[in-house]
Amino acid sequence: MKIATFNINGIKARGPALCDWLDEAQPDVALLQEIKSVDEGFPAEPFEERGYNVATHGQKGFNGVAILSKLPLEDVTRGLPGDAADEQARWIEATVVGEKAAVRLCGLYLPNGNPAPGPKFDYKLAWMNRLKARATALLSAEAPALMAGDYNVIPQDEDAARPEAWREDALARPESRRAFREIVNLGFTEAFRACSQGPGHYTFWDYQAGAWERNNGIRIDHLLLTPQAADLMTDCRIDKDVRAREKPSDHVPVWVELDA
């Protein structure tokens, strides 16, 4: 079962690029972030034509997450628990049943948090605290599950081409890294780092200042696996080439293969 995360930066603008990647990569599941669309405005037809079931959790103009799955989506829930007043669409869950195992999928778009310090940074850290609570509950189920998406966290200096440029940024500040580490250390496997080590692996290149051409990237899209999911993992990779195509997102897909 191939499961990918992809921040597409606007579903209305990314239709052709997303379809091209789906046709080529053939993921069973794609967890999408930044659809920037309400549910009613999500153009599901091209994906349904390709055999995907579609579940969305959108809002007007910003944020928004979705799941595309060739397997039926069961027990879909929307919104990260812990704050009924939070109206930002950043979390969606569903279960898919493979031939060998069922997998609980959590798609997330973690707040950017800039400028830091400030209320947006406070919101980011509060959201990560809620994420930690949900992560703890997921682990207690002792079953295959993953939390994947745009974490907006650069875990370590080796995950940025120019770490000194991010030192004061909400994506790399010690508070953000600490909160991310606390969640991982509950018992998750960070899928990409379980398969590849060392610097030079990125999932985002800014549109500005020739970041792609200079390979000035950062690694902020992650898949966290419960132990039961990690036991099923056979591969994890970044589809870097997607960034060089026509009208690309500023992020590229990251995927895991599970023997599920």
Applying CB under 7 A, the residues found at the interface with DNA are 9-14, 36-38, 41, 60-62, 111-112, 114, 120, 207-210, 247
**What is the rounded distance in angstroms from the CA atom of residue 79 to the CA atom of residue 63?**
12
Q: Is 109 tagged catalytic?
A: yes
Strand 74-78 vs strand 91-97: parallel, antiparallel, or unpaired?
antiparallel
In the bound state with DNA, the residue whose beta carbon lies nearer, of 41 and 98, is 41
From the list 28, 52, 150, 221, the catalytic residue is 150
Quick one: CA torsion of 70, 222, 200, 247, rounded to 10 degrees? Answer: 50
Report in angstroms how near the CB of residue 196 gets to DNA at its nearest.
24
Are the beta carbons of 90 and 48 closer than 8 angstroms?
Answer: no
From the list 52, 109, 151, 202, the catalytic residue is 109
**What is the rounded distance in angstroms from the CA atom of residue 125 to the CA atom of residue 122?**
5
Report in angstroms how near the CB of residue 35 gets to DNA at its nearest.
8
Q: Is 123 tagged catalytic?
A: no
**What is the rounded distance in angstroms from the CA atom of residue 120 to the CA atom of residue 66?**
23
Q: What is the CA radius of gyration of the chain?
A: 17
10 Å Cβ neighbour count for 233?
Answer: 21
In the bound state with DNA, the residue whose beta carbon lies nearer, of 2 and 120, is 120
Strand order in the sheet with 65-69: 53-57, 65-69, 29-33, 2-7, 254-258, 233-238
Phi and psi angles of residue 34, each rounded to the nearest 5 degrees, phi first:
55, 55
In the bound state with DNA, the residue whose beta carbon lies nearer, of 41 and 163, is 41
**What is the rounded distance in angstroms from the CA atom of residue 49 to the CA atom of residue 260?**
25
Report in angstroms how near the CB of residue 25 gets to DNA at its nearest.
20
Active site residues: 109, 150
